[in-house]
Structure 1
Amino acid sequence: MSQSLPPRRLSIEQLEDRLTPSFGTPWMDGTHLTLSFAPDGTSVSGRASNLFALMGSTTTQSQWQVAVLSAYQTWADAANLNIGLVSDGGQALGVAGAPQGDVRFGDIRVAARPLSAPGTPGSTMADTAGFDYNDQTWAGDLVFNSQYQFGIGDTPGVQSDLYSVALHEAGHSFGLADENTDPTSVMYAAYQGVLTGLSASDVAAIQALYGAPPADPYAAPAGGGLAGAYSLGNVTALSARITQIGGTDLYQFTTPSAFSGATGLTIDLQAAGISLFTGQVTVLDAQGNVVGSATTSDPTNNDLSVAVANYQPSSTYYIKVSGSSANVFSMGSYVLSLDYGGWYQGGRSAVNNFYTNTINSETRASDNTQSHALPLVPVQASEGNTFDLVGSISNPADVDWYRITPTLSGATSGTLFVGTMTTTHGLIPSISIYDAQGNRLPAVVTSNQPGSFEVQLANATSGTTYFIELSGMNGQGEGRYTLGATLAAAAPTTFAPTVSDTLTAADTINATQLSVSGDQLTQFALSATTVDPTAAAVRMSIFDATGELVFTLVDFTNQPLATGSVWLAAGSYTLVFNAVNVNGSTIQALALALASRSLTDPIDPYPVDPTSPPPLPLVPVSAPVPPPTAPPAPIVNAVASPLAAIPIVPPV
């Protein structure tokens, strides 16, 4: 069924230029990143990912996955970065969750879906979101445009080199923006054919964010002998990292006596899920004779196990760990362990991990006032800027208070990001931040969507105590939640004004056109206000050029803004706004504001002309504009009521 819209309110909006997303923010912990390949069928803004089908049409699964992983590892080798491959549960991209450390999938997810067709103005080969503290699980995600063909090597007019495209996009995943003036950089905005590695400027840029690879405390001494090996003592497990191509770690240890009950020894190296390191493990006796070895060259299957032949108690052995070949995968983190069959229990060192410390837990019901706020312990003792907690709202009147004193290394102030995810349906959380004197601080809502709520406080200072109040929005709902807070030396998240309008009783539905200059992942923020004490709801619906609904967002008057993200291909869209009062009474004047920001930076199929004119400025809906040359396409799906299938709790 088609639906006509009032053309008199139609105007043209130019969405913010696609080359202006915010990049330059490093990940919370670049040494413990993960990546996963989204299985086909995974939702990418309502379109099923077809990554495996797309890449499988020209290469084997091993070939295309190794090409993508090689691109990411190239960047990791150049800086204090480490990334491992994990499985992907197939949840929709952008689902509510933590930007780093979500166990359902990798921090960086790789997928594919159709975007603009090749040759279409604004068409891009791939798009990637950088990291920021309000991207949630979109952070770092790479989406290939499945209307292009990719393979191993470049064949003009047939396929583009997968490694080269992924190398550019991996730079975005790690936080680098496009380079529009230096064609020697892999971050140059246009595809240039086959790339072989990073330029000096690329290395400098990534090290500016994460620093250079650190020294390796377990590295074998120069000369190649066994002297100077790191002594394990009675430690039977430790985490380590080879930080240069061609590097070797060397360990020495003495097996327990025969009275310990140990009768054999297996050396295990775990790299799967930790890094893309492809290693070789060699075990030698005291005379330097090899008594066991194992190797792998597959970064998707990179665990190793070596059974020591002719095991001897109370004897000295050596372990050499090195890359299996001198390629990008010869660097990375691993866990080395000595297994004596379960009989001998030696000392075990802590395995370094960003999330190893105990997450705080709400353990008492008396944290319902600021004076009884529960103090939170940082996730890492060495990094006092991040806090996690698991808690619950037990009834609609329940309020939870927490106290944090975040500290920053090398900075005195930054932005405090506080967010929560609900783990049960029914709880719609609300967060406020206070100082020690009980003054409510000007925290700004940056994300409010099903399953998550986030605020940010600009100019927060290191060493200052802040109080966090969490409750059910509008005094409604109950359930469990996780809370995260991070003080980061990063700028606050900002949105660009996109549409402003007023809906009235005589004009409860209005429309405008949106022009998207290039494929991009866009986050929208919708807010509504009114002087009418009656609660009202406004819905924004985005329809593509064929009249199909591609995205919708609902917000209530005088409540926090509502947010959501969607992939939009280059082209024209119709935005429809409609409003109703919650109690069914006649709506009064309702002022709405829509803002947006681009989360992605693409690689273009053709060179970008840096002298081309800037994009058109934003034009408010209410401003006088020339009438369009043609009315919008008929809307195929009827515009839904703002109260239809709403995912949030309306105010009472």
Structure 2
Amino acid sequence: MPLRIEALEDRTAPAALGSPWPDPGTLTLSFAADGTRVGEAASDTATAFAGVPAAVWQREVLRAFQTWAVQIPANVALVADGGQAFGTPGPAQGDFRFGDVRVGAVPLSDDSLANASAFDWSIGTWSGDVLFNTRARFAAVATPTAADVFTVALHEAGHVFGMEHSNDPTSAMSENYTGPKTGLSAADIDAVRSYYGARQPDAHERVGGNGSRLTATPVDAVLGSDRLTADIGPGDTDVYSLLNASQLGQLEVRVRTSGVSLLAARVEITDRWGRLVAAGTATGPGQDVTLDVPQSLVKLGCFVTVTGATGDVFAVGGYEVSVARTSGLTLPPQVAERLIDNTPRGAAALDGRGAGADGFAADANVDSSADVDVYTVRVPPTTNAAPRAMVVSVTNLDGKAHPELAVLDAAGRSVPFQVLASSGGVLTIQVTQVPRGGAFYVRVSNPAGADATGRYRLTADFHPPVEVRYSRLAAGRLTTAAPAAATGLTVNNARLFEFVLVSTAADGAATGGATLTVRDAAGKVVLTLVRDREGATNRAVYLAPGVYTVTISASPGATNYWAGVREVSDPAGPYDPGTSTTYPEQPPPDDGNATGAVGEPLPPAEPAPVRPAGDESLTFEAPAPPPWYYGF
């Protein structure tokens, strides 16, 4: 009896299974390490693919998925797998811990080769997962006793994209394995396109495409690190012309496919006469290509050509092309100022996909400490007269520090905002002054003194303002002579508390960073907030009843600070009259702190008045942006 993948009712063409992926253009795939839990079993690809090198069978799996993806507006990017158990709770698409599609191997029934799950909201991260049978035999090339990996993976990839079985023996979705297949049948292509549509030219193609120097897409090398998102279709060629390159020193051109698609790209740099001066080819699917622009071309102008490097399915896919300055920056002063301030010229529109009706989202990269990304966000129209706020959140998806955020109005002026959350890899801010029908620019960058490089997800949502009120614990100035201040906090009933610390440099010797430490009565540290540069940070902690000491310290130099706390959780059970917490009525003597009342609102986002000379209780002068400044 021939090996079967699974049996289903008669069909002459593939039908729909499950639901289409909500964002097929950003699919990811990961190979789970052996030992990863799959229910009560553990993944064991070493047994399933015994005798086949991992690089070989994994490439065949990628080739199978790519065979479907090139027919539709889909990209499949290879990502690392975090090793969490299959079916771990999480989003059905977009979980950064592992791929949307996970590949493993476990024992299945004797007459089955593999199985897969289509996208289904109700099964969460199980969506898209492919499991090969460790009881079957696989080979790179089919033998009388082993099925070829590509044909089996092609069938399972069809299920992942929502295709059901077909009774057509030429279809990749034929339920019985009868030998190797080289690709999709015409019916397979029609079926998957009826589900997702056909692959379309990217936004830079325009009428007639951008495949020649005459129709090249301009890339502004001055206002870079300019990054364009594009796509190579079957037989496609994309050409880019570098603008304003004569004002720069050394340039680097990067075509990034890692984390984007399985495209294997060929990149060429030619001079204005079409002569080839530099070229590079990806070492494999989803591998980046980086080229230095010869110094001799900087003043003459040049073109960048991107094509598929192979004659197979890996010659198709999405990519990002960017131009970055690497040395010898010699800009006119007015241009240098634009670069430092990062005006919103050329900003990318923040996409509405993947967010709510009044929300926007984007996934991108901070490529280096100098990389800056700017997005336009348009306020959705509404007839509701109630106030609305814009909440912007950025998350580093690689486990590093969160990127820095800045918000500019339509004229490029800094907009003050409040920090709602700043901890680890996540920063969330709120802009309360949101004009209906207006527009903002959101700037994402690597913060000074930290490493936020890598992938990030940016979201922007509009809803009624979040009112945040803190009780002021302490505020003032720390100096080299008095580098720390302390105050007390008494908790009468157990609660969840959020602490906030805001600091800024008061002289040239300070970094503006500060540390807030909360200790219980025994001296045990229960919370530490660290800000290594000026800005704000906050975090919540569950505190049991007791007396706590809150200490704020800073490195040498003069540093202004403001520390506050608020109760986050409400008590359960009978009503608890009065406050559950005793706040300091006045600061300890001689520590330079100022105090505030219980329930003091979040420091307003307007510049604070400058205190008279000699009054160091709170001297937060309104700095030029960064716009995180609370201005209390």
Normalised to the residue count of structure 1, the TM-score between the two structures is: 0.49
Match for 2:195 among 209, 214, 222?
209
Residue in structure 2 matched with residue 146 of structure 1 by the alignment = 134
1:31 is paired with a residue whose SS is helix
What is residue 70 of structure 1 aligned with on the other side? 63
- The structural deviation recorded for 1:339 is 1.2
1:54 Cα offset (Å): 2.9
Give the corresponding residue for 1:33: 27
Is 2:187 the counterpart of 1:175?
no
Q: Which residue of 2 aligns with 1:568?
A: none
1:43 is matched with which residue? 37
| Partner SS, residue 102 of structure 2 | strand
Corresponding letter in the other structure for 1:169: E
SS at match of 1:171: helix
Name the counterpart of 1:641: none
CA distance in 2, matches of 1:479, 1:58: 57
| CA 1:213–1:283: 2 relative to 1, 3 Å | same
Q: Check if 1:244 corresponds to 2:229.
A: no
Residue 218 of structure 2 is matched in structure 1 by: 231
Q: Partners of 1:353 and 1:100 in 2: how far apart?
A: 19
Corresponding residue number in structure 1 for 2:242:
253
- Alignment of 1:129 with 2:112, yes or no, is no
Q: Distance in 2 between matches of 1:339 and 1:63?
A: 35
The 2-side partners of 1:224 and 1:133 are apart by 40
- Counterpart CA distance in 1 for 2:135 and 2:122 is 29
Which position in structure 2 is the counterpart of 1:13? none
User: How far apart, CA to CA, are the structure 2 residues paired with 1:52 and 1:22?
Assistant: 33
- Secondary structure at the residue paired with 1:163? helix
Q: Secondary structure at the match of 1:134?
A: helix
Q: Out of 299, 309, 315, which is 1:324 matched to? A: 309
User: SS state of the match for residue 23, structure 1?
Assistant: coil
Are 1:333 and 2:321 matched, yes or no? no
Corresponding residue for residue 279 of structure 1: 265
CA deviation map 1:199-243 (0-9, x unaligned): 111001111111000123445968975222122245533333334
Q: Secondary structure at the match of 2:229?
A: strand
What do the CA deviations read for 1:603-652 (whole angstroms, capped 9, x no partner)?
Answer: xxxxxxxxxxxxxxxxxxxxxxxxxxxxxxxxxxxxxxxxxxxxxxxxxx
| 1:113 counterpart letter in structure 2 | V
Quick check: 2:48–2:132 contact (8 Å CA) kept in 1? no
Alpha-carbon contact 2:113-2:136 (below 8 Å) kept: yes
Q: Give the residue type in structure 2 aligned to 1:171.
A: G
Q: What are the Cα deviations for residues 338-381 of structure 1, in whole angstroms up to 9, with x where unaligned?
A: 11117474878567997998x79xxxxxxxxxxxxxx9635478
C-alpha separation between the residues in 2 aligned to 1:52 and 1:351? 45
Between the aligned partners of 1:352 and 1:35, the Cα distance in structure 2 is 27
Task: Map Cα deviations across residues 578-622 of structure 1 (whole Å, 9 max, x no partner).
Answer: xxxxxxxxxxxxxxxxxxxxxxxxxxxxxxxxxxxxxxxxxxxxx
CA distance in 2, matches of 1:93, 1:353: 32
Q: Shift of residue 190 of structure 1?
A: 1.1
Residue matched to 1:449: none
Aligned partner letter, 1:215: P
Aligned to 1:102: 95
Mapped to 2, the partners of 1:338 and 1:295 lie a distance apart of: 17
TM superposition shift of 1:62: 1.8
Contact 2:172–2:181, Cα closer than 8 Å, also in 1: yes
Give the Cα–Cα distance (whole angstroms) in 2 for the partners of residues 196 and 321 of structure 1: 27
Larger radius of gyration: 2
RMSD: 3.8
In the TM superposition, 1:348-387 aligns within 5 A as 377-379=359-361
The 8 Å contact of residues 37 and 84 in structure 2, kept in 1 or not, is answered as yes
Distance (Å, rounded) in 1 between the aligned partners of 2:345 and 2:60 = 36
Contact 1:238 1:350 in 2 (8 A): no
In structure 2, how many angstroms separate the alpha carbons of the residues matched to 1:111 and 1:354? Answer: 33
Q: 1:350 to 1:30 in 2, by over 3 A?
A: farther
Count of residue pairs the alignment pairs up:
354
SS of match in other structure, 2:121: coil
Check the 8 A contact 1:84/1:273 in 2, yes or no.
Answer: yes
The question of whether the paired residues in 1 share the 8 Å contact of 2:262 and 2:317 is answered with yes
Match for residue 291 of structure 1 among 277, 285, 288: 277
**For each residue in 1:132-175, what CA deviation from the matched residue of structure 2 results, as whole angstroms up to 9, or x when unmatched?**
11120000100001111111111012x10100000000001111
Contact 1:274 1:333 in 2 (8 A): yes
What SS is found at the alignment partner of 1:25?
A: coil
Q: Which residue of 1 aligns with 2:151?
A: 164
Instruction: Map 1:458-497 to 2 at 5 A.
Output: none
Where in structure 1 are there 5+ consecutive unaligned residues? 1-16, 118-122, 361-374, 391-422, 424-464, 466-476, 481-652
| C-alpha deviation, 1:53, in angstroms | 4.7
| 2:249 alignment partner, one of 263, 279, 283 | 263
Structure 2: tracts of 5 or more residues without a match: 1-5, 10-14, 332-338, 363-376, 381-389, 394-422, 424-462, 464-494, 499-632
**Structure 2 equivalent of residue 309 of structure 1:** 294
1:92-113 per-residue CA deviation (whole Å, 9 max, x = no partner) reads: 0000000111000000101101
Shift in alpha-carbon separation, 1:109–1:28, aligned structure 2, 3 A? same
Q: Residues 162 and 352 (structure 1 numbering): CA distance in 2 closer, same or farther, change over 3 Å?
A: farther
Q: Deviations over 1:280-316 (max 9, x none)?
A: 110111121222111024115x111111223444432
How far apart are residue 52 of structure 1 and its match? Answer: 4.2
1:92 is aligned to 85
Q: Tell me the alpha carbon deviations over residues 58-106 of structure 1, each in whole angstroms, 9 at most, x when there is no partner.
A: 2222211110000000000111111110000010000000011100000
Separation in structure 2 between the aligned mates of residue 308 and residue 129 of structure 1, nearest angstrom: 46
TM-score by length of 2: 0.51
Q: Is the 1:282–1:321 contact (alpha carbons within 8 Å) kept by the matching residues of 2?
A: yes
Note closer, same or farther for the CA distance 1:219–1:116 as it changes in structure 2 (3 Å cut): same
Q: Are 2:61 and 2:150, in contact at CA under 8 Å, matched by a contact in 1? A: yes
5 Å-filtered alignment, 1:407-422, equals: none
Cα distance in structure 1, aligned partners of 2:232 and 2:282: 18
Write the distance in 1 (CA, Å) between the matches of 2:236 and 2:349: 20
- Tell me which amino acid in the other structure corresponds to 1:227: L
The Cα of 1:254 is off from its aligned counterpart by: 2.6
Q: How far did 1:184 drift?
A: 1.7
Q: Are residues 1:61 and 2:54 paired?
A: yes
8 Å CA contact retained: 2:232, 2:308: no
1:94 and 1:209 map into 2 onto residues whose CA distance is 26
